[in-house]
Amino acid sequence: MLGTAITVLISMTDVNASPADDIKAVAALDTQYQNAVKENNAATMDRILAEDFALVTGRGKAYGKGELLKAAREKQVIYEHQEEEAGSQKVRVWSDTAVVTALLWIKAVQEGNPVDYKLWFSDTYVRTPTGWRYVFGQASLPLPKADAK
């Protein structure tokens, strides 16, 4: 019963959050997610990602939560950089849905090959009774070097 009361209180607090508070919370959560990816921290990724999460790339490839967690656990990509470009993050909130857009710089070794590129992404979050969850992501194709500003 106490657990239920706490859950209700938390969900009421989230629902009553101001738009500015929601923007701050989602921005921080998305930054935390990007850091977890960089560190191959599957536990943090698991906590943030919704069970039915999907990521679609600019090439049309779709990945589910399980695939991303497996890649992190196996350290399929070793990151030097996996950060949003300063000042590029924008969070838009509509009630219980939030979309984060930002320019991401990725510099890493993937399957033995070095990669170094920037791309735009959109991450969609939904407010749940247990807090914001990352439900859908879309990543652009790598930008040409001249356009990666």
CATH number at residue 88: 3.10.450.50
> What's the rounded mean pLDDT across residues 54-65?
98
Q: Which domain holds residue 80?
A: 2-147
pLDDT grade for 12, boundaries at 50, 70 and 90? very low
pLDDT attached to residue 82: 95
pLDDT at residue 10 greater than cutoff 70: no
Residues paired with 142 in a beta bridge? none
Q: For tokens 């960089």, what's the residue?
A: 38
Helix, strand, coil abundance in the chain, percent, nearest 5: 35, 45, 20
pLDDT grade for 5, boundaries at 50, 70 and 90? very low
**pTM (2 d.p.):** 0.86
- Is residue 82 within 8 Å of residue 68, measured between CB atoms? no
Q: For tokens 């999460």, what's the residue?
A: 53
> What whole-number distance in Å separates Cα of residue 125 and Cα of residue 127?
7
CA 74 to chain centroid: 19
Q: Which of 147, 149, 127, 138 is nearest to 23 (CA)?
A: 127
**Number of domains forming the structure of the chain:** 1
pLDDT at residue 13 greater than cutoff 60: no
- Is residue 91 within 8 Å of residue 125, measured between CB atoms? no
> What whole-number distance in Å separates Cα of residue 43 and Cα of residue 63?
18
Q: Which of 58, 139, 76, 64 is nearest to 102 (CA)?
A: 139
> What's the rounded mean pLDDT across residues 87-96?
97
